């Protein structure tokens, strides 16, 4: 006599994959200001880097209904990644980010923030495990919203303003002329650095990427 059907698996393969992705999901947020007038400015280095990562992962940013951000889900370094561009303007970046972290159940340990830094020369990077905002208002908003400064960062150097140029005017100015090549190298290297953090961990990535924009 034939027996009845065997027990059904508790989850389908796609459900198991979704559950595994949830446990491994990392969030990479690029800081910047929304709007075409800011698209090519130095202060939008973070946006430029996550745009580069989205292209690598064959993803596209979409505006979500839940939070004040554009998001893009991809896989990088064999890990699920949620790329985020806050649409709140720089000073309120934390207001957009924290609801996403809570909704996705992502701890601060699986968060990487990418932003510009005037204290680093154009074309250079500096990865950091935590610490103060260094005067960066977007980072300050995230630290205040999270209640911790233990956040991995990939800082993209934009250099100091020339004599007689106001700092606020400088960061909102576009990169032009002979600086464009170095700028693009830095953006590409910062995208590599994010992948390095995901693949190797922050300490190993710091050894490789801190300093020159084009590490060996």
CATH architecture of the region 20-212: 3-Layer(aba) Sandwich (3.40)
pLDDT at position 52 is 98
Mean per-residue pLDDT for 33-62? 97
Find tokens 């992502």 and name the residue.
Answer: 106
Mean pLDDT of 32-52: 96
Strand partners, 85: 70
Under 8 Å CB-to-CB from 216, ≥6 apart: which residues? none
Mean pLDDT is lowest, of 10-24, 47-61, 118-132, 201-215, for: 10-24
- Is residue 97 a contact partner of residue 28, using CB atoms and an 8 Å limit? no
Note the pLDDT tens digit of each residue in 117-153: 999 999 999 999 999 999 999 999 999 999 999 999 9
Please write the tens of the pLDDT for every residue from 104-115: 999 999 999 999
Per-residue confidence (pLDDT) for residue 118, from 0 to 100: 95
**All residues at 6 or more sequence positions from 125 whose CB lies less than 8 Å from its CB, including other chains:** 154, 155, 156, 157, 186, 189, 190, 193, 209, 210, 211, 212, 213
pLDDT, one tens digit per residue, over 52-100 is 999 999 999 999 766 799 999 999 999 999 999 999 999 999 999 999 9
Is residue 16's pLDDT more than 50? no
Predicted local distance difference test score (pLDDT) of residue 87: 96
Q: At what angle do helices 202-209 and 179-200 cross, to 10 degrees?
A: 150
What pLDDT does 176 receive? Answer: 87
* pLDDT at 6 > cutoff 90: no
- Among 43, 58, 75, 115, the one annotated catalytic: 43
Q: What are phi and psi of 52, to 5 degrees?
A: -65, -40
**Cβ neighbours of residue 56 under 8 Å, at least 6 residues apart?**
74, 76, 191, 195
Considering only residues 213 and 72, tell me which one the structure prediction assigns the higher pLDDT: 72
Q: Which residue blocks in 26-118 are alpha helix, DSSP H?
A: 45-56, 93-104
pLDDT grade, residue 11 (50/70/90)?
A: low
Mean pLDDT of the chain: 90
Is residue 12's pLDDT more than 90? no
Measured in degrees and rounded to the nearest 5, phi and psi for residue 205 equal -65, -35
Quote the distance between the C-alpha of residue 42 and its chain's center: 15
Can 58 be counted among the known catalytic residues? no
């Amino acid at each position: 006599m034939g027996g009845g059907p065997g027990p059904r698996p508790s989850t389908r393969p796609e459900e198991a994959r979704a559950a595994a992705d949830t446990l491994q999901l990392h969030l990479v947020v690029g800081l910047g200001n929304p709007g075409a007038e800011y698209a090519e400015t130095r202060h939008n280095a973070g946006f430029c880097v996550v745009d580069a990562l989205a292209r690598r992962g064959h993803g596209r940013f979409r505006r979500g209904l839940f939070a004040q951000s554009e998001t893009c889900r991809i896989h990088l370094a064999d890990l699920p990644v949620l790329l985020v561009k806050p649409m709140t303007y720089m000073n309120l970046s934390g207001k957009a980010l924290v609801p996403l972290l809570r909704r996705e159940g992502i701890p601060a340990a699986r968060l990487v923030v990418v932003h510009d830094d005037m204290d680093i020369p154009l074309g250079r990077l500096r990865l950091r495990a935590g610490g103060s905002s260094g005067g960066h208002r977007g980072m300050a908003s995230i630290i205040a919203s999270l209640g911790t400064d233990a956040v991995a960062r990939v800082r993209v150097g934009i250099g100091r303003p020339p004599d007689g140029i106001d700092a606020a005017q400088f960061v909102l100015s576009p990169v032009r002329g002979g600086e464009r090549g170095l700028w693009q190298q830095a953006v590409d290297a910062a995208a590599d650095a994010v992948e390095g953090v995901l693949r190797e961990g922050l300490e190993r990535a710091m050894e490789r990427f801190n300093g020159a924009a084009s590490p060996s």
